[in-house]
Structure 1
Amino acid sequence: MPRSAGVRWWPAFSALVCLAGCGGDLYTAGTLRQYLKEVVNEALNVHCESLKQSGGGLSAFQCSCPAGFKWCAGHCYKLQEAFMTHDQAEASCVQINSHLAVPRSREENLCVAVMASEENKWLGINDRYSEGLFVDWEGRPLTGEHFKAWARGQPDDASDEEDCVEILGSKSSEHLIYGKWNDRKCTDNNPSVCQLA
């Protein structure tokens, strides 16, 4: 990545960390979201362009996702704007040969957060079958070294009914932070982000 893209990345990342840790108001959530979206898109364009110039190889495939999908952090993602239950959202993703997104790194979580934009979006994570044991859509547990981005105080299984996971958009309530995870009732309606495996 050229120096200019990296230089633009650090202020955005610093602002996100400050908003999450300092409680400061360096940027509004909307301004920060837009800035992060620009930085991520710029980094993707630079990365894909460098792959094309170098002959690419297998990695060049990553820059050419199917129609409607966007490449980011090594995966193809697609925003599903319709509000659906968690099960309906997963079924909708399966219809296009994908699954609900499961971020497994900070970079992947940032990609999904940028796509989440203002509204909370369903992720392919739940603890339906064993309270507190969160698994992905294949049933693999997210334990130990697995990446997790829970908002403070989450998961809380409010009213013993919250078994599905959403990533928080910028319209989230004050105590929940954009890009963090929250557990929610699976029968509630949210848009979603699909991910090719």
Structure 2
Amino acid sequence: MWKHITTILFISGYPYISESVTYKFQKTAKSFEESKVYCTTKFDGLAHIYNAEQQQALSRVVDGTAWIGVSKCGGNWCYTGSNRRVSYTNWAAGEPNNHGFFTNGEEYCVEMLSSHKWNDENCSDKNYFVCQELRCTATTCNRRGTCSELVNGFKCNCERDYYGDKCENVRCTATTCNRRGTCSELVNGFKCNCERDYYGDKCENVRCTATTCNRRGTCSELVNGFKCNCERDYYGDKCENVRCTATTCNRRGTCSDLVNGFKCICDRGYYGDKCENVKICPHLVKPNNSAVKCDGLHGENYFQSVCTFTCNQGFILKGNNSSTCQAFGLWTTYNTVCRVKGAVNHHKLITILITVGAGAVILSIISVIIWRRWRSCQEQANSTNDPSSPAPQVMSISSSSELYCDMQWDTIYDNVPNLYQDLNVKRMK
């Protein structure tokens, strides 16, 4: 729709005020964008219309044609500034048609006509405009619900545990009084009937009792709580933490102070939060025909305890005579044996017999070898007495034979170690 508007400037406008929103009719002609900037800067944007009641209320204050807070967003009509699709419309007949005499296809903004109907118009056109000043704010419902603007006021949709026109009241729940008393709902709120040792609007404060400071300090009641004056070796709101002292770790480790307590680094053989536990070894199995006596700083079978072995009468002890429980929970190695006095050590006897027997066999073999070599020597010497053999020119046959055998005998004795070695090699094969 095309129409001609004469631009007239007015300094002041006519406001319409309801309980929740104030409409400011501005009789200064501006483009849609200029109107939006002005309303956003001075107030809460161009006027939004959500229902027929608001449309009727706004109609009573608008004189002439004026921009309202509706414009095109994509293919829809939306509330300007929020890009939410409009929930109410009041279009004039045939509108919106996106058709103007000079601006065909560029009508993206909405004006309210003097007939109070809506028309789409080119956004650069100059019109009066209507601003809105909202009553719903972030704190209208005490941040306990959502606020909805109405024609004659606003409405708070309160969260689950709150009620009242502005969600100012709290309903009684299991935790309203911090589980320290009973809750009673009143007209404008609630009341906590606190248990004996608590006080405050929500029983949030604790009265001083004998155990408030864990019996490690003195308690002083304050306006909003209490204060513990802790003894020397304790600290914390309730003196719940222990400072490191010489005995904190039972003198079995080193103590380190932490933010909420301490930590013991235990010596070998001890464990626990305060090194109060001692490593224990399994029950010691005593050797046969013996008695065992264990003793130690922490008792039998505990770390550092020593067990001593003694043999029964008529027996003699061989091996270790004691064993000690170690830090990792095991006994030191022991090979204790109790033997009858005068008893033959069969194992040792067998070893000696085997050794002597082996030596005798070796000597017998060597003797046989020597004898065979000597006999061979004699046979070779006797062969020199053969008449067919030429006679020696230097020495007699008898002396030659004796010399030859003596030489052979020396050779045999010189080679006895080699013969013994050869015999061992053959036995290994």
Q: TM-score, normalised by structure 2?
A: 0.26
Name the aligned partner's letter for residue 160 of structure 1. G
Q: Which residue of 1 aligns with 2:41?
A: 95
Shift of 1:74: 4.1
Q: Structure 1 pair 73/167, CA: closer, same or farther in 2 (3 Å)?
A: farther
Q: Which residue of 2 aligns with 1:72?
A: 18
**3-state SS in 2 of match to 1:116:** coil
The separation in 2 between residues aligned to 1:109 and 1:84, in whole angstroms, is 22
The separation in 1 between residues aligned to 2:96 and 2:19, in whole angstroms, is 26
Q: Which residue of 2 aligns with 1:48?
A: none
Q: Per residue, is there more helix in 1 or in 2?
A: 1
Q: Which residue of 2 aligns with 1:114?
A: 60
Correspondence for 1:161 among 103, 106, 110: 106
Matches within 5 A, 1:120-139: 120-127=65-72, 129-131=73-75, 133-137=76-80, 138-139=82-83
Name the aligned partner's letter for residue 124 of structure 2. T
Runs of 4+ in structure 1 displaced over 3 angstroms? none
The separation in 2 between residues aligned to 1:77 and 1:87, in whole angstroms, is 18
Shift of 1:98: 1.8
Runs of at least 5 residues in structure 1 that lack an aligned partner in the other structure: 1-67, 170-177
Q: Is the 8 A contact 2:69 2:110 kept in 1?
A: yes
| 1:50-95 residue CA offsets vs partner (Å, 9 max, x unmatched) | xxxxxxxxxxxxxxxxxx7431374211011100000100111112
Is the aligned partner of 1:140 residue 2:89?
A: no
Q: Which residue of 1 aligns with 2:123?
A: 186
Q: Is the 8 A contact 1:72 1:108 kept in 2?
A: no
The separation in 2 between residues aligned to 1:184 and 1:192, in whole angstroms, is 13
Name the aligned partner's letter for residue 134 of structure 1. W
The separation in 2 between residues aligned to 1:190 and 1:107, in whole angstroms, is 24
Question: 68-77 or 102-111: which moved more?
Answer: 68-77
Q: Structure 1 pair 112/88, CA: closer, same or farther in 2 (3 Å)?
A: same
**3-state SS in 1 of match to 2:84:** coil
**3-state SS in 1 of match to 2:61:** helix
Q: Is the 8 A contact 2:47 2:131 kept in 1?
A: yes
Higher relative contact order (CA closer than 8 Å, sequence separation 6+): 1
Q: Is the 8 A contact 1:93 1:100 kept in 2?
A: yes
Instruction: Report the identity percentage.
Output: 26
The separation in 2 between residues aligned to 1:94 and 1:86, in whole angstroms, is 12
Matches within 5 A, 1:77-88: 77-88=23-34
Is the aligned partner of 1:149 residue 2:90?
A: yes
Is the aligned partner of 1:105 residue 2:51?
A: yes
Matched length: 117
**3-state SS in 1 of match to 2:56:** helix
Q: Structure 1 pair 115/187, CA: closer, same or farther in 2 (3 Å)?
A: same
The separation in 1 between residues aligned to 2:20 and 2:54, in whole angstroms, is 8
Q: Is the 8 A contact 2:43 2:131 kept in 1?
A: no
The separation in 2 between residues aligned to 1:121 and 1:73, in whole angstroms, is 23
Q: Which residue of 2 aligns with 1:62?
A: none
**3-state SS in 2 of match to 1:99:** coil
Shift of 1:162: 0.3
Name the aligned partner's letter for residue 141 of structure 1. R
Name the aligned partner's letter for residue 99 of structure 1. G
| 1:16-66 residue CA offsets vs partner (Å, 9 max, x unmatched) | xxxxxxxxxxxxxxxxxxxxxxxxxxxxxxxxxxxxxxxxxxxxxxxxxxx
Q: Is the 8 A contact 2:46 2:132 kept in 1?
A: yes
Structure whose alpha-carbon radius of gyration is higher:
2
Name the aligned partner's letter for residue 185 of structure 1. N
Q: Per residue, is there more strand in 1 or in 2?
A: 2
Q: How well do the aligned residues superpose, as a CA RMSD in angstroms? A: 1.8
